Structure 1
Amino acid sequence: MTGLNPMWLPAPTDLTLLPDEVHVWRIDLDRPQGQLQNLAATLCADELARAERFYFQEHRQRFIAGRGMLRSILAGYLGIEPQHIKFDYQPRGKPVLADTFAQSGLAFNLSHSQGLGLCAVNYTRQIGIDLEYIRPMSDVESLAERFFLPREYDVVRSLPTDQKQEVFFRYWTCKEAYLKATGEGIAQLEQVEIALTPTEPARLKTIKDWSLLELVPADNYLAAVAVAGFGWHLKCWQY
């Protein structure tokens, strides 16, 4: 694994986000029923309606947990109650802070997979995060050929079988993190070229002035954070 395996610390009561910091929160989405009820009480009608559209109860509960804890995290930075936060949505669905909260400059992005979530937060920089559970796949090469650039596909194809899957997900999380930061959709995967090897960290090859950092947030998970610009410091918190 080439990704950073950070220490996830409990957040201090006097949490401060400095202009040159990026905070990443690790969130356990499987919460007790009592906590879920409290989190659901902070959601708006639109979020509750979205939760109800999930077919499986497990998915409904994880959505409520993710959105509720996102509100709680952002509220801590903004100094308000979670239920008072309002969101706008960009054309491809990326949530951003609305109304007066947007003037704070607080930028965030949320990703979740299975029972784990990650939330990245900073001031003023475009930011995106993607998290993937590494699940067994029999068609890694064909997926790489379909979604990746020829040079990236060649890397996946050249690897031993036991390395193909990890490298595929490294490419995927890096591309998705950048596309989520810019608000573009998955259809643009082929427009983002990533340079990486099994032993070297990933970097954005064709796009300048962006940072890319790979994370290993838990066993069998991979993640990546894309941030506009350089010179920032990472802090990792456990919700």
Structure 2
Amino acid sequence: MTAPNHLWLPAPTDFTLLPDDVHVWRIDLDQPEQQLQSFAETLSNDELARAKRFYFEEHRQRFIAGRGSLRAILGRYLGIEPIQVQFAYEARGKPLLADTFASSGLSFNLSHSQGLGLVAVNCTRKIGVDLECIRRVSDIEALAKRFFLTREYEVLRSLSPDQQQETFFRYWTCKEAYLKATGDGLFRLEEIEVLLSPTEPARLQTSEDWELVELVPGKDFVAAVAVAGLGWDLKCWQY
């Protein structure tokens, strides 16, 4: 199943999240200076310190835009101001809401690439999202042989050079979305089997208890969201 680009709807006024709702937000990370200043005012001291460590100004600005947007989105669901949102971090650095907000049941995952970001939100299921900008990669068959399963590698080898580039990143985002949802590291990348083709959407062969949806967040971008269980309702919003 794939969500076409035109399904990215304007932000709703009602941020109600039903038990079977999965919301995915598309964020523009290239923001004007005035908006960046507004976002920066909502960040914690450790987030501001992290932003200052980026060597390139563009990366610093995109980090501020991403964290500021994340805080604004989560704040709306929680009914609080963005600056009041508090985070905790898992061992591998994955952010999650602090224990203060445990009663909300709200969970999220985020990913960014170049000037775009995605935030996936729900309140009852494990969830992961990954986003990649399609870019020219040399020795792509060697990379696929190293990180993909044999059947996936053979699919990629059978394609034209242009199709190989997009298909490689489709495989990668699908695998990483699932691994982010389960909390496993990239060391399990070679254990996750994904079935896809240039004309067919991806499916997880690994588990029947998970569903995978490919997204089209923009030109030359691919993305995927992995969610535990079946029967959930996906909505894609533009922040």
TM-score bracket, normalised by the shorter chain, equals over 0.9
In the alignment, structure 2 segments of 5+ residues that lack a partner are: none
Residues 1:178 and 2:178 are matched in the alignment? yes
Residues 1:23 and 2:34 are matched in the alignment? no
Q: Which amino acid aligns with 1:126?
A: K
Conservation of the 8 A alpha-carbon contact between 2:110 and 2:119: yes
Q: Which deviates more, 182-191 or 16-25?
A: 182-191
Deviations 1:108-154 (A, max 9, x none): 01111000011110112010000000011122111101111111111
Residues 1:232 and 2:232 are matched in the alignment? yes
What's the counterpart of residue 188 of structure 1? 188
CA–CA distance in structure 1, aligned partners of residues 137 and 72 of structure 2: 35
What's the counterpart of residue 75 of structure 1? 75
Q: Normalising by structure 1, what TM-score?
A: 0.96
Residues 1:100 and 2:97 are matched in the alignment? no
Counterparts of 1:1-239 in structure 2, within 5 Å, are 3-6=2-5, 7-239=7-239
Pairs aligned (count)? 238
Q: Which deviates more, 118-127 or 13-22?
A: 13-22
**SS in structure 2 opposite 1:110?**
strand
Deviations 1:43-63 (A, max 9, x none): 111111111111100000000
Q: Which deviates more, 116-125 or 157-166?
A: 157-166
Conservation of the 8 A alpha-carbon contact between 1:92 and 1:184: no
Q: Which amino acid aligns with 2:109?
A: N
Deviations 1:55-92 (A, max 9, x none): 10000000010011000000000000111111111111
Q: Which deviates more, 9-18 or 161-170?
A: 9-18
CA–CA distance in structure 2, aligned partners of residues 133 and 168 of structure 1: 11
CA–CA distance in structure 2, aligned partners of residues 68 and 237 of structure 1: 17
In the alignment, structure 1 segments of 5+ residues that lack a partner are: none
Conservation of the 8 A alpha-carbon contact between 1:96 and 1:102: no
Conservation of the 8 A alpha-carbon contact between 2:131 and 2:173: yes
CA–CA distance in structure 2, aligned partners of residues 121 and 23 of structure 1: 5
Once the 2 structures are TM-superposed, how far is the Cα of residue 24 of structure 1 from its aligned partner? Answer: 0.7
* TM-align CA RMSD: 1.2
Q: Normalising by structure 2, what TM-score?
A: 0.96
Q: Which amino acid aligns with 2:107?
A: A
Q: Which amino acid aligns with 2:104?
A: S
Q: Which deviates more, 209-218 or 157-166?
A: 157-166
Q: Which deviates more, 25-34 or 157-166?
A: 157-166
**SS in structure 2 opposite 1:59?**
helix
CA–CA distance in structure 2, aligned partners of residues 145 and 80 of structure 1: 47
